[in-house]
Amino acid sequence: MKAVVYEGPYDIRVEDVDDPAIEQPTDVIVRITSTCICGSDLHMYEGRTDAQAGLVFGHENQGVVEEVGSGVQRVKKGDRVNMPFNIGCGFCFNCERGWTGFCLSVNPGFAGGAYGYVNMGPYRGGQAEYLRVPYADFNCLELPDDEDHEHDFAMLCDIFPTGYHGAELAEVGMGETVAVFGAGPVGLMSAYACLIKGASVVYVIDQIPDRLKMAEDMGCVPIDFSKGDPADQITDMRKGDGVMKSIDAVGYQAIGSGEDGEEEPNVVLEGCIKVTNPTGKIGIPGLYVPSDPGASDPHASQGMFPISFGKLFEKGLSLGTGQTNVKRYNRFLRDLIVAGRVEPSLVVSKEVPLEEAPEAYERFDNREEGYTKVVLKPAA
């Protein structure tokens, strides 16, 4: 079958690879209908990870069940299914408590596994015609049989639940005010989640006009951080008050408002600490990594950087971090899509054949307009 294969930094190709096969009785094989490129794929693409040549990318996968293992009891051939990017076993201590992003079974020695991602276990990605899905009864979310909402549902693999997780980590509640740092796909989905959860005012901070425009169209207040400290801008608008909650949807590759555009891994966290009122909470779905060879200093290369902890403590702030547990949210978000109450596909900018993946990666990596969120379509 055809698959998107990593060959080295800035070098991915669509190649022929072996078809996947049932390996355990609890596996299924899914024929992929939609598979998205994720911002986190770029970390590998740019060579900032240990990813080895030969890795098939793709952790945002959706399709139709083609073959079913003998131990699978719920999922049937022909079912239309969506797969969370994190793979869970369903029976470990973490999965059982709903922390499926930190499964203790699927990636021995580490908490958490995923498809097609470096260090996330021996699972081939789904930017391909077919995908093996382990613990299929646990990992397949059933979709309505028709072909509606293909793009909306595709957002359920990762970015919608990831954005939503930001709002959950910050415990965003009815009538609250929120500052969301970052208006990339995850930031926009976080802001969207805040609105769905009943926030009163949501500020979205970025410097790219198109993204700020999308946030504004959603009903948020756009804040352009290239025009001044975003916390100060918000506090000025609010006559001296901050916000109750903030969300860091940026992570360690944050850049400050300086002209140089250099990475400052703590700039967004510091912004969150500054703008959030005492008693507030900070949700952090944006990625921080414990090992970053490309970092500018030795501390940062170990994911370590200074934080205004004294201020954080004085305000009595809490913060929550980590990758989302897709399965906590995906059924409910699916039902909102089916009911026509949300349209997360509003962030999808383009659909291209799987064969065009190399070009799509390159343009996405260049932040070209129209390549915010790309869905790949295998021919099969």
Token pair listed for 112: 């958490």
Amino acid at 307: I
CA-to-CA distance for 112 and 46, rounded, in angstroms? 23
CA-to-CA distance for 44 and 6, rounded, in angstroms? 8
CA-to-CA distance for 377 and 1, rounded, in angstroms? 14
Q: Is 339 in the site for a second copy (CB under 8 A)?
A: yes
Q: Is 90 in the site for a second copy (CB under 8 A)?
A: yes
The neighbour count for residue 309, using CB atoms within 10 Å, is 10
Position among 9, 11, 21, 24 found at the interface with a second copy (CB under 8 A): 24
Planar angle of CA 10, 118, 32, nearest 5 degrees: 80
Rounded to a whole number of angstroms, the minimum distance from the CB of residue 139 to a second copy is 9
Amino acid at 168: E
Stretch touching a second copy by CB under 8 A, among 8-16, 44-52, 55-63, 87-95: 87-95
111 Cβ neighbours under 8 A, 6+ residues apart: 94, 102, 103, 104
Q: Give Cα 202 to chain centroid, integer Å.
A: 20
C-beta closer to a second copy: residue 181 or 364: 181
Position among 91, 210, 367, 368 found at the interface with a second copy (CB under 8 A): 91
Position among 17, 92, 208, 380 found at the interface with a second copy (CB under 8 A): 92
Rounded to a whole number of angstroms, the minimum distance from the CB of residue 177 to a second copy is 8
Site for a second copy in 341-380 (CB under 8 A): 341
The neighbour count for residue 139, using CB atoms within 10 Å, is 27
Q: Is 63 in the site for a second copy (CB under 8 A)?
A: no
Site for a second copy in 156-215 (CB under 8 A): 164, 169, 173-177, 196-198, 200-201
Rounded to a whole number of angstroms, the minimum distance from the CB of residue 347 to a second copy is 19
Rounded to a whole number of angstroms, the minimum distance from the CB of residue 98 to a second copy is 7
Rounded to a whole number of angstroms, the minimum distance from the CB of residue 15 to a second copy is 31
Position among 333, 354, 360, 375 found at the interface with a second copy (CB under 8 A): 333
| C-alpha separations of 290 from 19, 77, 159, 294 in Å | 34, 41, 22, 12
Rounded to a whole number of angstroms, the minimum distance from the CB of residue 326 to a second copy is 12
Rounded to a whole number of angstroms, the minimum distance from the CB of residue 207 to a second copy is 23
- 19 exposure class (CB count in 10 Å sphere: 0-12, 13-18, 19+): middle
C-beta closer to a second copy: residue 198 or 228: 198
Q: Is 56 in the site for a second copy (CB under 8 A)?
A: no
Q: Is 304 in the site for a second copy (CB under 8 A)?
A: yes
Closest CA to 160 of 175, 177, 133, 141: 141
Q: Is 113 in the site for a second copy (CB under 8 A)?
A: no
C-beta closer to a second copy: residue 84 or 378: 84
Token pair listed for 319: 């913060």
Across-strand partners of 48? none
Binding mask 241-260 for a second copy (x = CB under 8 A): -----------x--------
Q: Is 94 in the site for a second copy (CB under 8 A)?
A: yes
Position among 57, 99, 153, 181 found at the interface with a second copy (CB under 8 A): 99
C-beta closer to a second copy: residue 88 or 184: 88
CA-to-CA distance for 29 and 134, rounded, in angstroms? 9
CA-to-CA distance for 320 and 285, rounded, in angstroms? 8
Position among 13, 76, 77, 97 found at the interface with a second copy (CB under 8 A): 97
Which phi and psi angles does 299 have, rounded to 5°?
Answer: -60, -50
Q: Give Cα 359 to chain centroid, integer Å.
A: 22
Site for a second copy in 261-280 (CB under 8 A): 265-266, 269, 277-279
Place of tokens 């959603």: 218
Rounded to a whole number of angstroms, the minimum distance from the CB of residue 265 to a second copy is 8
Rounded to a whole number of angstroms, the minimum distance from the CB of residue 304 to a second copy is 5
C-beta closer to a second copy: residue 272 or 376: 272
Cα first-last separation, the chain: 9
Under a CB-based contact definition with an 8 Å cutoff, are residues 311 and 272 in contact? no
The site that binds a second copy (CB under 8 A) totals a number of residues, namely 86
